[in-house]
Structures are given as structure tokens and as C-alpha cells.
Amino acid sequence: MHAPAMTATIERRLLVNYRADPEILARLLPEPFRPQLVAGFGLAGICLIRLDGLRPAAIPRRLGLTAENAAHRVAVEWDTAEGVRTGVYIPRRDTSSRLIAIAGGRLFPSVHQLASFQVEEHGGRYRVVLAALDGGTHVRVEASVAADLPSGSVFGSLAEASRFFRQGAIGWSATARPGVYDGVELDTPTWKMEPARLEAVESSFFDDPGRFPPGTAEPDSVLLMRDLPSRWLARGRVAVDSDAR
């Protein structure tokens, strides 16, 4: 089943970014993806997003749903007949919505795992904690709105960071079929990012020494998007298995 275009308001989107050893990231990526480098580093992270009024584009807003969602992401590039493309590879998606978890990959693009979310937001401060019901991931992030990016970031400016993420708006997600990845593109007419300061972070993905030996993945920056209209467009599938359809 082809997933329809979805529309929603991005109430809050926190991008928690890690600068990582490209060789370590390359081991985690399936074909045809390879790490996209920024200042010699690979870039990975966690997207923590709350969508309001999420629904197929043809459905009235009053019938939409509100959901907390999370995606673990790696900035990637890959070769096409038209040249090198950029985006993100998403090994795992989590959601607070049972409907999204059940219908993921059909009505909603990409497979999602069900998780509990605890969220606190007040005065430009954010605290998001998620625990997947299958035990597969745990995240805790505390951040607050800031005037600029941290001095040690791989990005030289907010404008550079914003441009990087806007150009990599297509995400390729792992599916239940090995070697097959669903593509989803974020489209928003009002792309606006703000810097935030990371005050605390825990991640079962990035803190796992078996996946990232000590020193190979370090927090880099946090970017915030809020109160923006958005569309989520299915972009087909990448299949590296010759038998995949």
C-alpha cells in the first residue's frame, strides 16, 4: 500500500546532534548509504518531535491526531544516476501513538515502535524522556533555548546548520524487510531553526560502548523548530536486495 502524503503542525522538534567517528558510523550503515561528513566528522543524532493534527492531507484537521515521536538518525549520502544525494538513515522510529505503531509502513510511512514519553516544556526549557515498550531504546534530553550554537560545534553558524538539515530532509527508514528502506521527506514552507543548549542527555543508542567505543560519539549541538506547518511525503523505497520489490 502506498502511504499518502501527511500534514501536521510541528509543535516542537528537537534535533540532538552527535559528532561521530565516520568509520564507526560506516559500520552501522547498510548499502547504499555512507556517512556525510561535516568538518571531518560524521553526524548522527535524535529527533524528538511532537506533531499536532497529523492526518492524510485530504482529511480535515479536526480528525488529526497529536503524537510524540522520536527518530535515531545518521546523516548520509548515496549515489544515484543523477549524482550524489543527501539525507538521513533512520535505524529506528518510536511513537506515543498506537495508531501510528499499528499503521506504520501502510497509512503512515515507515515502521514505528510504541514508546512512553514524558515531556515537560516551560519558558524555553525542554525535558523529553522516552522508554520503548519493547525495551529497545531509552532517551532523556534536557535543553533550553540559547542565543547561539556551542563554540565546539562542527557547524560554524546557525545558518550553516539550518542549510545542512534542510538539504537533508529525506529520511530512509529500516523496514521489516531486510535491505528495503522507506523514504519520507519533510516539506515545510516556513523552515526556521533556533539554537538550544544541551543540559543533559542519555541515550541507550549513543551510550552503548559496543556500538560507539568511548570517545567516538560526542554531543555536538541542539537545534529547535516549533510551531511550523509541515507535510510528510512518501518518497518510495530503496531496495538493495535484488529480490526486493
* Cell, residue 131: 522508554
Q: Which of 229, 184, 235, 225 is nearest to 53 (CA)?
A: 229
What is the pLDDT at residue 241? Answer: 58
Q: Give tens-digit pLDDT for 90-139.
A: 999 999 999 988 876 666 667 889 999 999 999 999 999 999 999 999 99
pLDDT tens per residue, range 161-212: 999 999 999 999 977 788 888 899 999 999 999 999 999 999 999 999 999 9
**242: confidence class by pLDDT, cuts 50, 70, 90:** very low
Q: Is the pLDDT score of 228 beyond 70?
A: yes
The architecture (CATH level 2) of 6-239 comes to Beta Barrel (2.40)
pTM score, whole prediction: 0.93
Q: What is the pLDDT of residue 244?
A: 40
Sign of CA dihedral 141, 147, 153, 155: positive
